[in-house]
Structure formats: C-alpha cells, structure tokens
Structure 1
Amino acid sequence: MTASVLDCISLSYQTLWGRQRSLVGIAVFVAPLPEPPLPGPIDAQELLEALGDRLPADGPPLFLVPQSQGLLLDLLAVIDPPAPPGAPGPRFATRTLAAPTLVVPDFLLQASSLAANGIRLARQRGLRLVWRGSADAPPPPELRDNFHRYWLDLPAPWAAAALKDATRKASVGQQIGPGRLPPGHIYGGIESRVLMEYCLDRCKALALAGWPAEDVVYSLRHQAMQPSHAVVMAALKALEGDRSAEVVQRTLSEDPLLVYRFLIYANSPALGLRAPIESIRHGMMMLGIDTIRSWLGQQVPFASRETALRPVNAQLVLRARLMENLLDAGIEEALRREVSLCGLFSGLDLLLNEPAGVLLPRIRLSRRVQDAVIQHDGPYGPSLAVTLALEKDDPLAVQALCATHEMEPGRVNRALLDVLGDIDVDGPTI
C-alpha cells in the first residue's frame, strides 16, 4: 500500500462530555512521526482529506489538536471556516466532514511569533479557534479576542479553590449561586466527581475533556453496582423487535457489567451447559431468545439510572471496539469477539472494586483474555497497551509503544479513526 499522511503521523484522542453526561465531541491529537516514510512536512490539506474519508459530518464534533508548530501553522491556513446554516460543508472524498475546530496549545503559541500571526489571519477568515492552556496563564491580551473558547486545565490551587466553593453549603433558604469558574469553556484534568458536577452544573462548562471515572465509581462504593437501565431496556427492545443477532449482541455490549453478568449466568451450573460460554454470541446460540429475554427482564428492577456512569461505560466500549479494529482484517470472528472482551473487561476491577484476577476466573474466558487484562501480557497485551495510550493527550507515547510492539502507526491511526467515525450521537453536541 502506498504511504499516505496517516502513515506519517501519530494520533491519540480524548472524549468530551457535556452536562447531560453524554458525548458532545472528540479531541484528536496529531504529532508527526520522527522518521516518516514520506519526505517533507505533513500536508495539512491531505490530513483533512484523510479525516474526511473516515469521519462523517453527523458524528461528534471534531477538535483537532496539533502537536507541532509547522502543522499548526499549516492548519491555520487551510481549514475552512464553519459553513453557514443550511450550506454544504467542504467535501473530502466520499464523505462530508464538518469543519473541525482547531485547538491551539499554549506551548505552540509561546514558541514563535509566527503562530500569533497565523491566528490573527485565521480569525479574520472566520475560523473558530480554541486556546488550550493552564487556567492561571491565559493567552496574551492582544490575542484573547481571536479565540472563540478556551480549553482550561485547572492547576492545583484553582482546583482546590473550586472544590472548596463546590462543597460550601448555602444558608437556609438561600440558593447556591453560580460557580466561580468562567462558563462556556472546556475543562480538563478534572479528577473529582464533586468538581465535575461543579464545572458542568454550576459553572455551565461547555464540556469536560476526559472523565473522573475512578472518583465517580468511588462515590458509589456504598451501593451494589448494576448494569445500565437504558442498555437493559434497549436490549429487550431489540429482542422484542426481532432484530438480528448482531444488533442484539452490539446492544448488550454497550455495558461491560451487563456482559459480565450475562457470562456468569450462561456458565452457571443451573443451566447445565457442558461447553464453556466465552462470548455473547455463543451464549445467545446456546440459551435461545426466550431465556435471554427472561434473564434481561429480571435485571430491570435493579438496573442503574446513574448518569455519571455513562461516560465510564462508554469509554470501555470504545476501548473494546478499538482493540477489535486493531486486529488483522483476516482474523476469524471468534477471535475478534474474544479480543473485544479484553477492552470491555479492562475496567471491570474499577467497576466492581475487586482485582481482575478474582473477577475473570469466575467466567470461562480464554487464557489469552485473562493474561491481557490481569497481567497486561500475552498475545493481546500489546494491543491493550496501545489502546490505553490512545485515550490520552499524548500521541508521542503512542509512537513509543508502536515502536516497542512493532505496530505500524498508520494501521493504528486508521483503526482509531474508523472507530471514532462509527460513534452514534445520542444527544446535543457542541
């Protein structure tokens, strides 16, 4: 295959979550490879076309975060401003990608005056720009009007002050006022559930980059973790609507805890099945639709409606699909389903507050899956390591892991974009 721009860069991503605890955008970080297969700088126009090949216009809004000054300057020059309502967007290949929002990292802005000039010219053309940096060190005053929004990373003193304000109780009969953080911006580095709720609900943040998964789960430690009510009902609806086995399987797989409970049930001695059930599809074949419908019905009264868990589950689902896409195209379907469980169950210890080495032996998974999730080893270990690195704002770390595990960056990039392009938008976006 002829080398393209996707073979010359390394990508990573972060999910952006809104006030309804639903996905409202995707940030994609782009860094040139130190020794790309093609000579010369990255072609920004070709990069946009490559993104347009794989990301649909009706997907989550894309925030593009370059990690080199040359790429930032080129993107400032070639990205089209947002099209007016009702007007067609720029067409790349066979799909229409809405103009991405360009994020300007502060470390690139500080590196050279060329970035400042490029920002002014882009703003004059109508380009909407987002500045990203520490909340206590905003961009220079002469440039602030050129940015549509900020992506603010809270330094420790700011986070402590915000947390103190978030936990302050109002006097009797007094309403708690708006928060002290500026509204309408993206906030990053939020590791506390209290701070997450403060930013989104009181400060009216536009979105959070990432999600405080560990603290959200810790805040629920005094109640038994249950599968999502919405996913259980969607699975029942799919069964009652006589949907295909593939649709039912994909719906069930939207909740890792539901899949785990299903495999425990399918392998229980009470059912008397001789062969171990290692996947949802196998369990559906052996149990039958009526048995599965009855089991799902039993989950409904106890299912969780906790909205703060939606991003936690959604991130594990993305991880599972990405691991599946990282496999070679010709691999058999049974192994594809198996490696998907590695991603889905990689956060099971967090959800259930038990070591993975205790949880996974309760279901009859292959040794390959257990080695990857428990020990980060075995044939699936490298794919899990790369997948976890892809979830952070550091594409250089992805580069290093690809080199260590002899994985082609271009194949990893294409797998990532195909997964991001397949995300369903189920709520308002930004």
Structure 2
Amino acid sequence: MNEASILGQVALGYAPMIDRQRDVTATRLTVFPARADAKVPPAPLLEALAEAWPADAGALALNVASETLLHDLMLAQPAANVMVEVPAFMAVDPAHTEAIVALHRHGNTLMLQGRPRAELPREVLPCFSAAIVDVAEERRTDATPPPGVTRSIGFVQSGIRSAAEVEAAFQRGAQAVLGWPLDDPLPAADPKAGARSDLQTVVELIRRVDKEEPVDRLDAVIKLDPTLGFKLLRYINSPAFGLRVEIASFRHAIMMLGYQRLKRWLALLLAQASKEANMKPVMFAALRRGLLMEELVRASGNGQSDPQLRDEAFICGVFSLLDKMMRQPFAELLKSIPVPAAVSQALVDSEGPYQPYLELVQAVESASMFDLREIAERLMMSVGEVNAALLRALANARTLG
C-alpha cells in the first residue's frame, strides 16, 4: 500500500505542544479514520508518518480517534520518537494492558488522556509519563497538591482558548499546553512603543521590492542592517531552498531569489520579528500556515504551474497572524505593508481566492473533521491530498528551523 492510499483513509489535524518557556516541545497529530467503519492498517500509516517525521526530527505525539486503530498502532510499535496518547477508558481496560506495557518497554513515551473513572491496572500505571487534562475538566486550583495527595506524573493542559487560560494552566503546574490561542482579541497596542528599527527596515524593503527597485538599492538597504543580511544568507543557504551552491553575498542572494521570492522571505522575516515570549508560538504557527497554504494551493492544481500563486498563498498564510503580532487590525496594518490584492482580500475582507485555503488550514489546526471535509470538497481536493500537503509542510518547516 503506497503513501497516497493510506493517507486517503485518515484525516489529520495538527497542533504544537508548548512548554512554559513558550518553546514547542512536540508536534501533535490527531488521526481520524476517514470512515467510522474503516479498518485502517497501522504499518503503512506509521511508514507515511515516519517519512515526514523521522527519528531525528524530535517528538511526534499521536492522538488517535479510534480505539481499534490506536490498539493496532500500539501493537505495531512505532519509532521511539513517537509519543502515544492513550484515552483513560482504554488505560483501565485489561484488554489493552499488554499492548500498553509492551509499547512502554519499547521506549515510547505514553500519555494518559483524560481522567480515569476507575483505578488503572497496577502494570499500566508506571507506563505513563504525563496526563493530558482538558481545561474544562481541571480541578486543580494551583500547583500545590491537597494534603495527603501525591502526584506521580505531570500534566499537559488541553482545550486552551485564551492567553489567560494559558497563564492559569502554568500557574497550576502544567508542564505544557496543547495548541495556542490564536483567536484571542487583539491586545491594545502600546502608543509609546515605536516600531523597532529592524521592523522598519523589513517594511521598507518590502515597499522597495514591491516597486521592483534595482538590486543596488536593495543591497544598500540590507547592508545597513547586518543582522538582516545574516538572516537572508542563512535562509537562502538552508536545505529548504534547495540551491547547490553556497551564496556568500547580499547581491548574489537577491539575484538568486528574484523579486517574488524575496517578497516571500521578507514576509516570513516580518512575521518572526517579535521578541515577546508569548509571540513565539504565534510565529511558529505563522510559518506553518504559510507552508501549508503553499502546499494546499500546489496540491489543488491551481499553483502547480504558477509559482507566483504558491508564493502569494505562502505570504497569505504567514501574514494571517500578523495582526496579533503587530497589534493592529489588518485594515490598518496593510496600509503600510504592500501585499497582493488577493492576499488583502483574504486578510481584510475574509473573501477571495485564498480565503478557502486559509479556512482549510484553520480546520486542520482545530482538528475539525467535518469542516476539513467540507472545505476540501469545496476546493475539489481529497482528504488524502490535504494530509499529504500537511506532512510536506511540517517537513519543510523543520528545515527552516
């Protein structure tokens, strides 16, 4: 069974696991069988995931929304970098004890999902390194356990909907949260905080590139900011760019990129310029949104032979969270930052050719099976094509750091 075939039998959702330093410690994939009655073979699914997420790529957490498929995946013994979430109802069921213990012995990290309604079998209890607890079911009020209560494992908070809930979870002692609240209302901008010089330089470069000014003028602007020049050279020499020769000068880098790809790089740089700790997960999400939108446009056929469409989709995805980072509504923000008309349509007016792709990305982020299917059908894409695009985007994101 090939990769395309197995990816057509499931639907995938994506979320990061983020620790109290706001660093991403693992990538979580939620796996739904495409049909409730389908028997999904575990081995080819694990092979497809391993190809996109090899052992040296860090931790991959699997949240499998099927008791049968999860049991089969545990028996198939995934690679040691794969963390497996086990629902509490399965953990207390003796029918799954042998598979849980065997997977623990294999070296995989296991996480208990939810609160068990009965006592866990004695053999199973030591197998779990942490519990995943939804904020709606949280009974802790702080990090200190009640008198006489010993907590043997840490917990990861899921169901987070706001920055305040993030802070409360870490106050209660959470070692990480699942996902990050991207729909919080815009925080008030500090009128005393002017734009940082590096942000001004990037915005100025975007304006000049939009006008397609000569390379000499662009080179002169970049030379005024050594950090910016370093980041440009690091980007163009990264594996994601695929060049066979090393680029050592700003002029050569600009000539190799061209105006369209330089816009793409500057969009990424602008979206990663914040120094605020709480913006780190937002910047992480912005890069993946851009890469996923690019891959979705490519997979849909619209961008197969048109790199400009793919680059615009990338910029749209990366900029889709820029209002959070810059603390300005898009209608104001895009007055100073030139973007393609179709990108502005999606971000300001929630319409236009890129809007359905942005909605599809959001459905993947929220692991909304119904929305994912409905939007994919609207775009005349299969769920398998969406899954393949997601895995390619996550793999590409790793090469860009």
Query: Normalising by the residue count of structure 2, what TM-score does the alignment of the two structures yield?
Result: 0.72
Could you list the runs of 5+ residues in structure 2 that have no partner in the other structure? 229-272
**What are the superposed Cα offsets for residues 228-255 of structure 1, whole Å, 9 maximum, x if unpaired?**
x9xx6xxxxxxxxxxxxxxxxxxxxxxx
Read off the aligned partner of 1:32 and give its amino acid letter. Answer: P
What's the counterpart of residue 380 of structure 2?
406
Superposition CA RMSD, Å:
3.8
* Aligned-residue offset at 1:27: 0.4
Read off the aligned partner of 1:319 and give its amino acid letter. Answer: R
What's the counterpart of residue 260 of structure 2?
none
**What are the superposed Cα offsets for residues 291-329 of structure 1, whole Å, 9 maximum, x if unpaired?**
12325779xxxx753222111111111111111122227
What's the counterpart of residue 259 of structure 2?
none
Q: Does 1:147 align with 2:128?
A: yes
**What are the superposed Cα offsets for residues 314-350 of structure 1, whole Å, 9 maximum, x if unpaired?**
1111111111122227333333221111111112233
Alignment of 1:369-380 (within 5 A): 369-380=343-354
CA contact (8 A) 2:84 2:111 kept: yes
* Aligned-residue offset at 1:20: 2.6
Quick one: which of 257, 261, 276 aligns to 1:306?
276
Read off the aligned partner of 2:85 and give its amino acid letter. Answer: V
Could you list the runs of 5+ residues in structure 1 that have no partner in the other structure? 81-89, 91-97, 163-177, 233-257, 268-272
What is the alpha-carbon distance in structure 2 between the residues aligned to residue 50 and residue 283 of structure 1?
44
Q: Does 1:292 align with 2:290?
A: no
Q: Secondary structure at the match of 2:334?
A: helix
What is the alpha-carbon distance in structure 2 between the residues aligned to residue 380 and residue 106 of structure 1?
40
* Aligned-residue offset at 1:198: 5.2
Flag the 1:35–1:141 CA change in 2: closer, same or farther, 3 A: closer
Q: Does 1:30 align with 2:31?
A: yes
Read off the aligned partner of 1:47 and give its amino acid letter. Answer: L
* Aligned-residue offset at 1:31: 0.8
CA contact (8 A) 1:23 1:311 kept: yes
**What are the superposed Cα offsets for residues 270-292 of structure 1, whole Å, 9 maximum, x if unpaired?**
xxx6x844xxxx67947422212
Flag the 1:408–1:214 CA change in 2: closer, same or farther, 3 A: closer
* Aligned-residue offset at 1:106: 4.3
What's the counterpart of residue 365 of structure 2?
391
Q: Secondary structure at the match of 2:187?
A: helix
Quick one: which of 122, 127, 138 aligns to 2:116?
138
Quick one: which of 173, 177, 180 aligns to 1:208?
177
Flag the 1:286–1:30 CA change in 2: closer, same or farther, 3 A: farther
CA contact (8 A) 1:56 1:421 kept: no
What's the counterpart of residue 100 of structure 1?
82
Alignment of 1:237-252 (within 5 A): none
What is the alpha-carbon distance in structure 1 between the residues aligned to residue 374 and residue 52 of structure 2?
25
What is the alpha-carbon distance in structure 2 between the residues aligned to residue 393 and residue 107 of structure 1?
21
What's the counterpart of residue 65 of structure 2?
67
**What are the superposed Cα offsets for residues 68-111 of structure 1, whole Å, 9 maximum, x if unpaired?**
1221121121124xxxxxxxxx5xxxxxxx4411112347669x
What is the alpha-carbon distance in structure 1 between the residues aligned to residue 90 and residue 59 of structure 2?
23
Flag the 1:107–1:370 CA change in 2: closer, same or farther, 3 A: farther
What's the counterpart of residue 319 of structure 1?
289
Q: Secondary structure at the match of 2:280?
A: helix
CA contact (8 A) 1:10 1:396 kept: no
Alignment of 1:321-340 (within 5 A): 321-328=291-298, 330-340=304-314
What is the alpha-carbon distance in structure 2 between the residues aligned to residue 283 and residue 317 of structure 1?
27
* Aligned-residue offset at 1:409: 1.5
What's the counterpart of residue 233 of structure 2?
none
* Aligned-residue offset at 1:385: 1.0
Higher relative contact order (CA 8 A, sep 6+): 1
Read off the aligned partner of 2:221 and give its amino acid letter. Answer: T
What is the alpha-carbon distance in structure 2 between the residues aligned to residue 336 and residue 426 of structure 1?
17
CA contact (8 A) 2:16 2:179 kept: yes
Flag the 1:107–1:375 CA change in 2: closer, same or farther, 3 A: farther
Over the matched positions of the two proteins, sequence identity in percent amounts to 27
CA contact (8 A) 1:31 1:396 kept: no
What's the counterpart of residue 218 of structure 1?
187
CA contact (8 A) 1:79 1:99 kept: no
What's the counterpart of residue 241 of structure 1?
none
Read off the aligned partner of 2:118 and give its amino acid letter. Answer: P
What is the alpha-carbon distance in structure 2 between the residues aligned to residue 58 and residue 125 of structure 1?
17
What is the alpha-carbon distance in structure 2 between the residues aligned to residue 283 and residue 139 of structure 1?
66
Query: Normalising by the residue count of structure 1, what TM-score does the alignment of the two structures yield?
Result: 0.68
**What are the superposed Cα offsets for residues 358-393 of structure 1, whole Å, 9 maximum, x if unpaired?**
322433322211122223322212211111111123
What is the alpha-carbon distance in structure 2 between the residues aligned to residue 25 and residue 416 of structure 1?
16
What is the alpha-carbon distance in structure 1 between the residues aligned to residue 364 and residue 100 of structure 2?
28
Moved more, 100-109 or 405-414: 100-109
